A and B are shown apart, each in its own frame.
Chain A
């Protein structure tokens, strides 16, 4: 494992499987009376959120606390960032306070990479979503959920499984991280989106592109719906919500046309009635709530693998012939 997790492209197949398998073991913890491990006792993790988030921030916080880390939540609103402090100065402050890891969400694509490559911070940097770029832990929890449904078992990957990702690919960091990770794990990805919401250069991504959701349904093992990110849209990308819902929305009729084993995923927050009807969102085949629970296990696994070992996870392994008994 590398020291930072900035992009899903950083993960080799072995790294990704190690995270999924570790998460599988850690998932057992949620069924116990004492949901806590002493593994990160004495380590400080800062959650540095420059953008609003409920799910991801809470999920990281629960994961950090379950591993006994000291957690500092740092929201840009109400902090010195709103007074004009730069990312560099914020990072230097956190470094001076002894942060062992920084979980960062930033509206600018590339902010976590900048932090990871700089010498402002000595700790690990975990990308919790940067602009329209990437959200690697979301991709990991999606892969974890997919594996549980389509190919359960430790060490298994997703080879040969077909995943269709539907919606606002242009603005979606979830789609970007997912296509990279799913490809690493051997799955075939098809994007279905209005032509206006397909990014330039998508022909270089390891995926297929289609504009017709109905045609893709029959050969889909998992359908991943994306949120339409109105806050990132500065122009009209499609005529009306109704038309979007008619062409790209998930509804009961489309659900019935999916193969029986297929699941419908959504990273949340769901816009009911537009991307997904309530009928599908509340059906047992929709994994949105399960994805949230899996998110805690995945983030625990990432934190443990980056921080739980020797101070630098990428330090060369020492020659340990015999474990202390």
Chain B
């Protein structure tokens, strides 16, 4: 029996048009479930959740004809892995002028994985105000939850193994729109193979 140990290169599972369609669908689902999205506030989780929430807001404005309040949330100070890594720079948290009290807050993120980011976001939200309800919209749900959390709006369910890494690229920060799946250590191993110095990290 032969085993293939060489890591798979990332392959594309969603392209720009797919992402755009997914956002349109999620926007319609929000309007349908929230009965017109009267009291909806979108909160994008840094970094790519913010870009996605902006696109979702534009789509919702198109559908409803109203400007949906949009904020950004940095959850760094609420993470449960802070003590495992060096302190990192904070991103900008911005709560819309009307606040979140009594509103339907929709958290927006790119990938739903362990659920720890969402847990931290819920904690952060609890310190900011008291929403009527909180829902979660993600572009990709890749499974492997470590906490009892699930998304209300999912762009694509993507069954993955823990060996794999999901990369979301968005034009706003990465130059192109795409979702890629590849083996977690592919970049490391291939660059080591290519680099003249095999000890070079990554």
Contact = CB atoms under 8 A, between A and B. Distances in A.
Interface in A229-270: none
Interface stretch (A53-61, A191-199, A282-290, A312-320): A312-320
Given A309-B82, A313-B87, A317-B85, A32 B128 contact: yes
Interface string B160-202: 0000010000000000000000001001100000000000011
B86 A25 contact: no
A25 B74 contact: yes
B83 A311 contact: yes
Given A28-B93, A39-B82, A321-B184, A309 B77 contact: no
B87 A324 contact: no
Contact of B127 (A25, A34, A305, A317): A34
23 contacts: A21-B89, A22-B90, A25-B90, A26-B90, A32-B127, A33-B129, A38-B77, A39-B77, A39-B78, A305-B87, A306-B87, A308-B87, A309-B85, A309-B86, A309-B88, A310-B83, A310-B85, A315-B86, A319-B201, A320-B85, A321-B187, A325-B109, A325-B116
Contacts of A305: 87
B92 interface: yes
B175 to A, nearest CB: 19
Given A37-B77, A37-B78, A309 B89 contact: no
B111 interface: yes
B173 to A, nearest CB: 15
Interface residues of A, number: 34
Contacts of A38: 77-78, 123
A325 B111 contact: yes
B117 interface: yes
Interface in B78-103: 78, 81-93
A63 to B, nearest CB: 13
Interface of B: 74, 77-78, 81-93, 109-114, 116-117, 123, 126-129, 142, 165, 184, 187-188, 201-202
A18 B86 CA distance: 13
A86 B123 CA distance: 44
A18 B87 CA distance: 11
A105 to B, nearest CB: 24
A203 interface: no
Contacts, number: 83
A162 interface: no
Interface of A: 1, 18, 21-22, 25-26, 28, 32-34, 36-39, 154, 304-311, 313, 315, 317-325
Contact of B83 (A33, A304, A309, A325): A309
A318 B85 contact: yes
A298 B53 CA distance: 31
Contacts of A28: 93
A304 B184 contact: no
Contacts of B129: 33
A321 B81 CA distance: 14
A325 B87 contact: no
Closest 8 CB pairs of A and B: A309-B87, A325-B113, A34-B127, A309-B86, A25-B90, A37-B77, A39-B77, A308-B87
A317 B165 CA distance: 21
A308 B113 contact: no
B86 A317 contact: yes
Contact of B188 (A25, A304, A306, A321): A321
A325 B86 contact: no
A26 B89 CA distance: 11
Most A CB contacts (10 A, CB to CB) among B77, B82, B112, B114 go to B77
A307 B82 CA distance: 10
B95 to A, nearest CB: 9
